[in-house]
Amino acid sequence: MKRRVAAAITGAGLTVLISASAADAGGVRATAGDAANGCAIVALKAIKVGSQPTAMAITPGGKKGYVANANSGFVTPIRIPTNTVLGRVRFAAPGNGADAVVVTPDGRFAYVAGVTTSTRGSPLRGRVVPIRTTTDRPLRPIQAGHFLIGMTITPGGKTIYVLDWNPLFGPGAVIPIRTATNKALRPIKAGPVDDEDSIAITPDGRTVYITNFDSNRVTPVRTATNRALKSIKVGRSPNQIAITPDGAMAYVTTDDGVTPIRLDTSKALRTIKIKNRPFAVAITPDGRTAYVAAIAPRYGAPGTVTPIRIATNTALKPITVGRAPDAIAVSPDGRTAFVANNDSNTITPIKIGGNKALKPVKVGKQPSALVFTPNGRTLYVVDYTTDDGPGFVTPVRTCAPH
């Protein structure tokens, strides 16, 4: 299976507050100055985790983060105030692992999802493991599907929706899991699922949306009935999806550009053409602008980030960033977007006022996921690093006001 890249918009895990003194616990690795704000964006000492880390979620109480490692057979809990590893939580045998993680809104449980191998019957079995956050004790695994590649959770925490890719045995599905019983419900057929696809939920929790890479469509699933609705035709090879804070619009990256969808009518609007191949997308907290990270077609060429004005669905001037930008996140205060440049081993901060790229900040190898704390003062960068060696998570102190 090719490596799956996790964008910030795909993680539904909750993030937490972190103090400036806590961020000072690590050593400085790299900085990018923001003279206008009179501060420096600082990369702190990287935290060693498992092999092929792909996603991270943090408890709302601010005590722990959980890193899903796709190739280690364990999940890495991190003590947030000190940025230290708290041991290992067993997920499966070595060589198996988790690709997605969410935390319940009450902070009591983390759920990790991925794949295990089996010697009898199907060689691929999906597994979701609940972890009690007070003790880091894993509960009984929930067996469901095959390759579980994405997750989202309803705002009240009642149901988790897991994206199931089934590369050997036919179309994938979306699998609901009731958190009260830790039982998987009947899979929902929601169009063909590929390992390039993603899942997102509306802010009111009424509808889940799945991109269908192979059929050029997006499939809505109504959470009240767990039924798939009529799919929506978008551009070629849809990949990532982001939903505006008011739940009115969704923006889908495709090989043709960015397709806006009006969610109340499930109508796709005219695709917005941008420079390079769109991959990741994030929306500002005020819902005024979508930022789209796009990968250059020529290997080694710098990528771009294109702002899209949501009121008119028009693309603004592209911003040059690093090579292969495949994750993007906007700070909670809406002042800065951060882009993970997978082939440059950097992140690029972008000042939203003026759409200006600041100096890149060096992080670990192959940064592929970004998670903010709610006050925006710290950004965690998940560094994939290598296929077989350990991965890292790099805390980055931002310029968010205190």
CATH code where residue 247 lies: 2.130.10.10
- Report the residue count for the chain: 402
pLDDT of residue 387: 76
Q: Is the dihedral of CA 343, 348, 352, 357 positive or negative?
A: negative
pLDDT interval class at 399 (50, 70, 90)? confident
From CA 87, how far away is CA 50, in angstroms rounded? Answer: 11
Handedness of CA 306, 311, 313, 315 (dihedral sign): negative
| Residue 72 token pair | 């280690």
Residue 174 within a domain: yes
Which domain covers residue 206, as residue numbers? 8-397
Give percent of the chain with pLDDT exceeding 70.
Answer: 88
Q: How many domains does the chain have?
A: 1
SS3 23: helix
pLDDT digits (tens, 9 = 90+) for 264-283: 999 999 999 999 999 999 99
Q: How far apart are CA 308 and CA 291, in angstroms?
A: 6
Query: Hey, which residues does 284 pair with through a beta bridge?
Result: none
What mean pLDDT value characterizes the chain?
A: 88
Assess whether pLDDT exceeds 80 at residue 249.
yes
Q: What is the pTM of this model?
A: 0.90
Confirm whether 59 is domain-assigned: yes
pLDDT in tens, 294-332: 999 998 899 999 999 999 999 999 999 999 999 999 999
What are the backbone dihedrals phi and psi of residue 8, each rounded to the nearest 5 degrees, phi first? -60, -35
Alpha-carbon Rg for the chain, nearest whole angstrom, is: 19
Tally of CB atoms within 10 A around 314: 10
Torsion of CA 311, 210, 73, 7, to 10 degrees: -20
Asked whether residue 159 is assigned to any structural domain, the reply reads yes
Per-residue pLDDT tens digits for 79-124? 988 999 999 999 988 878 899 999 999 999 999 999 887 555 556 7
The answer to whether 292 and 281 have CB atoms below 8 angstroms apart is: yes
Residue 221 covered by a domain = yes
Quote the CA–CA distance of 96 and 125 in Å, as a whole number. Answer: 10
The answer to the question of residue 1 being in a domain is no
Are 203 and 155 spatial neighbours (Cβ–Cβ below 8 Å)?
yes
pLDDT band at 402 (very low <50, low <70, confident <90, very high): low
Query: Is residue 104 domain-resident?
Result: yes
Here the tokens at position 339 are 């882009």
Alpha-carbon span 76 to 120, nearest angstrom = 29
Whether 200 maps to a domain, the answer reads yes
User: Which three-class secondary structure state does DSSP give residue 238?
Assistant: coil
Question: 180 and 158 in contact (C-beta within 8 Å)?
Answer: yes
Neighbour count for residue 375 (Cβ, 10 Å): 18
Name, in order, each residue with C-beta under 8 angstroms of 185's C-beta and a sequence gap of 6 or more: 175, 176, 177, 178, 226
